[in-house]
Amino acid sequence: MKLQVSTRLAIFALLHLAGRPDEQLSVSDIGDKYGISSHHLAKVMHALGRAGLVRAVRGARGGYQFSGNASRTTLLDVVQLFEDWASPHAISGIDGRTNEAWALSKVVAEIDEIAQATLGSITIATMLKLIDRRRHEQKRST
């Protein structure tokens, strides 16, 4: 499974912001950390803003803030903002007119269902917990 660059940027940005709820971070603050162009990231932030997941704060120390509910926003919610996951056929691009195509589309649909269930079961809060655990493990090993 391959996520588009925009999707990955959106997830990185949300995790970055949700992990720092009291800070306002600019597009360049976030872009610098992940080596992303500000231009590309700005478009992503705009889409996240429309979805109510981030809020732009104006002013000298303005920037973006996470405005979603970390315990209720799943990775699937974010992925669906950027990927076309309307139906398994739309994802696979498989025409089901032949039996061979039908059989292959059945397998692809199975993969898709598992991917969707996985992404739909992991919230931003759960991701932050995973990141935190990794941070502690790294600290312990050094």
* Interface residues toward other proteins, by CB under 8 A: 47, 50-53, 68-69, 71-74, 76-77, 80-82, 113-114, 117-118, 120-123, 125-126, 129-130, 133
- The nearest distance, CB 118 to other proteins, in angstroms, is 7
**Cα-based angle 59, 16, 55 (whole degrees, multiple of 5):** 40
Determine contact, residues 116/1, Cβ cutoff 8 Å.
no
Which residue, 26 or 108, has its beta carbon nearer to other proteins? 108
At its nearest, how many Å lie between other proteins and the CB of residue 89? 18
> Quick check: 54 and 26 in contact, CB under 8 A?
no
Burial class (CB in 10 A: 0-12, 13-18, 19+), 45: buried
Residue placing its CB nearer to other proteins in the complex, 33 or 134? 134
At closest approach, how far in Å is the CB of 120 from other proteins? 6
State which residue, 31 or 66, has the beta carbon closest to other proteins.
Answer: 66
Q: How far apart (Å, rounded) are the C-alpha atoms in residues 6 and 8?
A: 5
| Rounded CA separation 142/62 (Å) | 36
Q: Which is nearer to other proteins, 80 or 92 (CB)?
A: 80
Residue 32 CB, nearest approach to other proteins (Å):
28
